[in-house]
Amino acid sequence: MKTFRIGGVHPNDSKISRNCAIEVLPLPQTVYISMAQHLGAPAKPVVAVGDRVKTGQVIAEPGGFISAFVHSSVTGTVKSIGPRKDLAGNNMTHVEILVEPDEWAEGIDLSDTLVTEIPSDRQFILDRIKNNGVVGLGGATFPAHVKLNPPPGKTAECLILNGAECEPYLTSDNRIMIEQSSRIIIGAAIMKQVLGGCRTVIGIEENKPEAIKAMSDALAELGKCGAAYSGIEVMVLKKKYPQGGEKQLIDAVMGRQVKSMGLPIDVGAVVQNVATSLAVYDAVQKNMPLITNTMTVTGNCLPADRQHNYLFRIGFPLSFVAEQAGGVPQEVSKIISGGPMMGKAVANLDACTVKGSSSLLYMTAEQTVRKQETNCIRCAKCADACPMGLEPFLLNKLARNGMYDALEENGVHDCIECGCCLYTCPANIPLLDTIRLAKGDVIKIIRSRAPKK
Amino acid sequence: MTTTIIWTIAILTVLGGLLAVILFLVAKRFKVEEDPRIDEVEKVMPGANCGGCGFAGCRAFAQSCVEAGNLDSNFCPVGGNDTMKKVAEVLGLEVKEKAPMTAVVRCNGSCENRPVINDYDGLKSCRVKAALYSGDTGCPFGCLGCGDCVAACQFGALSMDTGTGLPVVDQDKCTACGACVKACPKAVIELRNKGPRNMRVFVSCVNKDKGAVARKACKAACIGCGKCAKVCTHEAITVENNVAYIDFTKCKLCKKCVAECPTGAIHAVNFPVIKPKPAPTAAPAATPAPAPVAEPVKKEE
Amino acid sequence: MNKLIVSPSPHIHSKTSTSSLMRDVVIAMLPAVLVSVLFYGWAELEVLLVSVVSCVGLEYLITRFMLKRPNTICDWSAAVTGVLLALNVPSTCPWWIIFTGAVIAIGVAKLTFGGLGQNLFNPAITARVFLLISFPTQMTAWSAPKAGLSLSQVISHAWTGTDFGPDAFTGATPLGLAKEGGSVHMDYLNSLFFNIGGSVGEISALALILGFAYLLVRRVIRPHITLSIWATVIIFSGIFWLINPDKFTDPVFNMLTGGMLLGSIFMATDYVTSPMSPKGGIVFGVGIGLLTMIIRYFGSYPEGMSFSILIMNATVPLLNGWFKSKKFGRA
């Protein structure tokens, strides 16, 4: 079984909600759609207060080259456009829409039929992906059309579909791979076509046997539909965090390591999440904009019948999602949007779902409160765990003293912020807190120096 | 036995002499020619090497002064006008007097005014906290209370007030080097004119949220109502992005704005007490209070 | 719902903590401790008690009253030092020597440097070397049973009297005998289980290896350092033994005698005083092995393990700088 070569940790995978089928969330009375649902420049609203919008209609245009369209997830009247606090409590422009019954924008195919025939026009596919606001749903929300359009001179040798879902607790990818396997594979075939028919690997961690079976079965079925589906394979990966990290996944699947400060395409790889593949299918085959995604509501403090996987639309207040799931239990002291290793702690439950939302994870104080920091005992467990082969103990020390030259020399800018070092540290030293800051500073220094050379 | 001792002494003496000669020659050979005035200027510098002037240290500052041939763009905030006068004397140059400055904390979000709405559980560092989220109160602009400014201050002029959770500037120790201004990720601290007899008026808030939002997060927030700007007869107050700012070069310390502010966000410090008041908290006249920011004249509404 | 906690990721933490790691080290030493108590009886219990109590007590008193810091006895590191020190002295050692050792270990080697994690030298090794040089007589006098006694006789002697009575003899360790050029006849198979003569922790190779296995299974330590010491010792002594078997002792003898196993398993692998990277660990281990064998064959001391660990401890900062872990995506 394949895996990445350096470091990694083995947290308990806690996939409690793995068997909960995806349920569709009802609509709230008001949605607030954020203009920053993707990496890069925030989108610019193109609607005005008082406008009536239909479901799937464009409400914001890209604000730069690396940016994305945003569509209305509901039908209704725009009540306001202005700052509202996101889940970190910072102000971001949101479009507030009063919800009415759905009335879909023109040109969207709402039928259930599976479209297996893949358009041959590359530009048509890319335009559809771009115009439907598809972004990477693996966490970084990088605009998908940019990634699928490698710069001249670089060719993709392998498209890797990321179904590792190595973060504990999260099960939304698992569920869509079980329930929507054919659509994911068609999405993969579309991306494969765009990239010039390269090898395509769907990487799934071994702890999801149902997903592996469903995807393999669907692949065998679709294999009969034509040549577009040949050269796609399902690869079972070892359960080890961070198997789903982009660089780690490329290492596991292709045995190649992306150079420091390099991009996956440098080693001929393009990585897309399985949820992105699903969005690509919808966008290309159905002209459906990205306004829905799947999220997990889970936690050890919830009973088995209150674990959920939901299909949500963008702009739902998190508090509404929590209410639909039966409210937040009394003992919860931290809510995480995303996985427990890399997710963001929710500071503001009135924040709204965005394209990349993947979970509401409830944690009790006992599970999550950090313990008192003690002396470093130089056990080197952080260095053993680091999947980038860095020395977190050293970087932490250098970062606290602001020694940027040494930090750069020791590769702080290679850090992927996976959290393995802090997870494993027996002395509870907040390694990643200091390293993350130093990484930002050092990358700024490197960038400021680049044009001079 | 005696021979051994004599030999030892002889060899060591010769060796010592030889090395001395070598050292002398090397020192001569590799001597760096520097303008002797740099040394002289450096002597009159405070020697804190704080970097407040924008140079790596006092010597670099001195070098720059000597090389530039004028003192227009160089100023030592730590030594102030006295030091600059001495520097000017050494170099035979002219120097313009600058009003002394001091660091001012523009946040009034004490625990009482600005309730904590979530618990922060990371490294106790404002930078880490600011990179993570808006902070543990409803105000995304104000002081984060982890004391990065205190750590940055080389002169021991800053301390955290455990009662309010805000940093306090000891203006006697503050040299206006600006280290705290750079350290604060929220740009809460500003260098302002020290003012005649340390009297100054400033808006103790940087909240850019709209009035209602700001008020909800903090009782003492500037709500950008503009009353202060209207009442000001010296055009010293501007309201931009829902927050007022007093230009200290124009402010004549009339305190009309202080009386006008509905939330008490404008602070007047170190003013002599005119009317006798029941509250004993007013600052004593003429003597600089050790903690000016902690004692805002709030009762004047 | 409580007030929400907000913190940077990650939001979960492994169950491993400093104290759990140190506790595992103590557990790994238990077989050796049990064997030593079995063979030396009450005297050994007393040694253990004095050593552990004085180490933990000193740690508490010094941190609390001299350094005025939060006390650190709960991290079990002082207990580890205490047990190690007890395993490093003979059972006949008077209590005040052990106490002196504890002062050196905790007070000088550990807390003067800033406590756990900051010390350059392993506290227990520093104490052992200090005692070995200061009290050579007490530290090298071993109460041992005469040859020919059965196992049960040895054990009953240990628990019924402080002495082996008429059957007892106080003698040098096998290594000491070898140094003096005496002929040594050891039953290797027997000495795997019990090998009287030496520090109390050096009795049973099997008990020590059991501890090693436990540490590896629990992933407390990496095997690099220990194995590289063993490999170096076996290869080095093997070569010399093959050249001249009359003058040089054989590899098996060198592996089983003295502090070789105790040192390589429990003292050289101390986190704080060993290199961070596996590569550095191998160099560190090879260094210890070479130095030990050089001291044993050519030095004036019969035993070189503690000296060589101490010497190699000093090279750790250098090794950390030279040998770094392999970075992702870099040749």
Which residues make beta-bridge pairs with B201?
Answer: B268
What's the confidence (pLDDT) of residue C271?
93
Contacts of A85 in chain C (CB under 8 A): none
Q: Are the CB atoms for A62 and A41 separated by under 8 Å?
A: yes
Residues of A in contact with B134 (CB under 8 A): 85, 88-90, 347
Min CA distance, A129 vs chain C (Å)?
A: 31
Residue C329 and residue C331: Cα distance in Å, rounded?
Answer: 7
Tell me: the pLDDT tens digits for A11-28?
999 999 999 999 999 999
pLDDT, chain B, mean: 85
Percentage helix, strand, coil for chain A under 3-state DSSP, each rounded to 5: 30, 20, 45
Backbone torsions φ then ψ of C272, nearest 5 degrees: -65, -35
- Closest residue, chain C, to A87 (C-alpha): C6
Show which of residues 53-72 on chain C sit within 8 Å of chain A, judged by CB atoms: 72
d(CA C255, CA C195): 12
- Identity of the residue in B128, B133, B209 whose CB atom sits nearest the CB atom of A347: B133
> Between residues 114 and 173 of chain B, which touch chain A (CB distance below 8 Å)?
118-119, 121-123, 125, 127-128, 131-135, 138, 140
Handedness of CA B112, B118, B120, B125 (dihedral sign): negative
pLDDT tens per residue, chain A (453 residues)?
Answer: 899 999 999 999 999 999 999 999 999 999 999 999 999 899 999 999 999 999 999 999 999 889 999 999 999 999 999 999 999 989 999 999 999 999 999 999 999 899 999 998 999 999 999 999 999 998 889 999 998 988 888 889 999 999 999 999 999 999 999 999 999 999 999 999 999 888 999 999 999 999 999 999 999 999 888 888 988 999 999 999 999 999 999 999 999 999 998 999 999 999 999 999 999 999 999 999 999 999 999 999 999 999 999 999 999 999 999 999 999 999 999 999 999 999 999 999 999 999 999 999 999 999 999 999 999 999 999 999 999 999 999 999 999 998 999 999 999 999 999 999 999 999 999 999 999 999 999 999 999 987 654
State the count of interchain CB pairs (< 8 A) between B and C.
Answer: 27
Q: Is B238 helix (H, G, I), strand (E, B) or coil?
A: strand
Compute the half-sphere exposure of residue B199: CA atoms within 13 Å on the CB side of its CA: 15
Q: Is the pLDDT of residue B138 over 70?
A: yes
**Alpha carbons A248 and A6: distance in angstroms, whole number:** 9
Residue B53 has what pLDDT?
82
At residue A298, the 3 state secondary structure works out as: strand
Residue the block writes with tokens 């104000």: B142
Q: Are B143 and B136 in contact (CB under 8 A)?
A: no
Are C6 and B132 within 8 A, CB to CB? yes
Whole-prediction pTM:
0.86
Q: Which two tokens stand for residue C304?
A: 């070189």
CB-side neighbour CA atoms (13 Å) of A431: 31
Which residues in chain A are contacts of C115 at CB distance < 8 A? 375
B119/C5 Cβ within 8 A: yes
Work out the minimum CA distance from B210 to partner chain A, whole angstroms. Answer: 10
Contact C254, C191 (CB under 8 A): no
CA distance A72 to A128: 17
| Bridge partners for B102 per DSSP | B192
CA angle B265, B268, B269 (to 5 degrees): 125
Say yes or no to pLDDT of B105 above 90: yes
The verdict on a CB contact (< 8 Å) between C8 and B122 is yes
- Burial (CB < 10 A; 0-12, 13-18, 19+), residue C15, is exposed
H helix runs in C105-262, sequence order: 123-134, 136-140, 151-160, 174-179, 188-193, 205-217, 224-243, 251-256, 260-262
Is C126 in a helix, a strand, or coil? helix
* Interface touch B133/A89, C-beta < 8 Å: yes
Largest CA distance in chain C: 79
pLDDT for B48? 82
Select from B127, B135, B138 the Cβ nearest to the Cβ of A437: B127
Here the ipTM equals 0.89
**Residue A274 in tokens:** 């399985």
Task: Give the pLDDT band (50/70/90) at residue B285.
Answer: very low
End-to-end CA distance of chain B: 96
Neighbours of chain B (3+ CB pairs under 8 A): A, C
Residue A180: other Cβ atoms inside 10 A: 22
Q: How many residues does chain C have?
A: 331
Residue in C121, C66, C133, C122 with CA at minimum distance from that of residue C97: C133
- Give the minimum alpha-carbon distance from A34 to chain C in angstroms, rounded to a whole number: 21
Residue B217 corresponds to which tokens in the numbers above? 């997060």
Q: What is the pLDDT of residue A265?
A: 93
Q: What is the mean pLDDT of residues B155-160?
A: 92
Give the residue from C289, C318, C148, C292 showing the smallest Cα distance to C229. C289
Q: Which residue has the higher pLDDT, B286 or C233?
A: C233
Q: How far is it, in rounded angstroms, from Cα A251 to Cα A6?
A: 9
Residue B96's alpha-carbon distances to A82, B5, B45, B72, C19, in angstroms, are 47, 68, 17, 8, 63
pLDDT recorded at residue B284: 44
Asked if the C-beta of B211 comes within 8 angstroms of chain A's C-beta atoms, the answer is no
Residue of A144, A153, A133 whose CA lies nearest to A72: A133
| Cβ atoms of residues A301 and A364 within 8 Å | yes
Q: What are phi and psi of A264, to 5 degrees?
A: -55, -35
Confidence category of residue B50, pLDDT binned at 50, 70, 90:
confident
SS (H, E, C) A7-56: CCECCCCCCCCCCCCEEECCCCCEEEEECCCCCCCCCEECCCCCCEECEC
Whether residues A363 and C11 touch (CB distance < 8 A) is answered with yes
Amino acid at residue number A235: M
Question: What number of other Cβ atoms are within 10 A of residue C54's Cβ?
Answer: 22
**Strand ranges for chain B from DSSP E:** 101-105, 118-120, 158-161, 166-169, 189-193, 200-203, 237-240, 243-246, 266-269
CA A352 to CA C168: how far, in whole Å? 83
Question: Element (H or E) spanning A235, and its range?
Answer: strand A232-237
Q: What angle do CA C163, C169, C175 make, to 5 degrees?
A: 120
CB C282 within 8 A of CB C289: no
How far is the alpha carbon of B126 from chain C, nearest alpha carbon, in Å? Answer: 13
Question: Quick one: pLDDT at residue B290?
Answer: 43
CA dist., res. A15 & res. C73, Å (int): 38
Of A99, A24, A21, A22, the C-alpha closest to A324 is A24
- Spatial contact of A236 and A212, defined as CB atoms under 8 Å apart: yes
Query: CA of A4: which chain C residue's CA is closest?
Result: C328
Residue of A nearest to B140 (CA): A90
Q: How far apart are CA B226 and CA B263, in angstroms?
A: 12
Q: What is the DSSP letter of C118?
A: T
Rounded to the nearest 10 degrees, the angle between the axes of helix C77-87 and helix C123-134 is 30
Tokens of A183: 């659509």
Radius of gyration of the CA atoms of chain C, in A: 21
**Segments in A237-273 forming alpha helices (H):** 246-254
CB-based contact A44:A331 (threshold 8 Å): no
Contact B255, B268 (CB under 8 A): yes
Q: How confident is the model at residue B301 (pLDDT cuts 50, 70, 90)?
A: very low
Half-sphere exposure of B189 (CA within 13 A, CB side): 27
pLDDT tens-digit profile, chain C (331 residues): 678 999 999 999 999 999 999 999 999 999 989 888 887 778 888 999 999 999 999 999 999 988 888 888 888 999 999 999 998 888 888 899 999 999 999 999 999 998 888 999 999 999 999 998 999 888 776 665 544 556 666 666 666 654 544 444 455 566 666 666 655 556 665 565 565 555 666 777 888 899 999 999 999 999 999 999 999 999 999 999 999 888 888 888 888 877 888 999 999 999 999 999 999 999 999 999 999 999 988 888 877 889 999 999 999 999 999 998 888 988 6
Helix axes A172-179, A209-222, angle to 10 degrees: 30
Which residues, 6 or more positions from C57, have their beta carbon under 8 angstroms from its beta carbon? none
User: How is residue C141 written in tokens?
Assistant: 């006098």
Instruction: Give me the count of residues in chain A.
Output: 453
DSSP B169-192: E-TTT-----HHHHH-TT--EEEE
Which chain A residues touch B118 with a CB distance below 8 Å?
A: 347
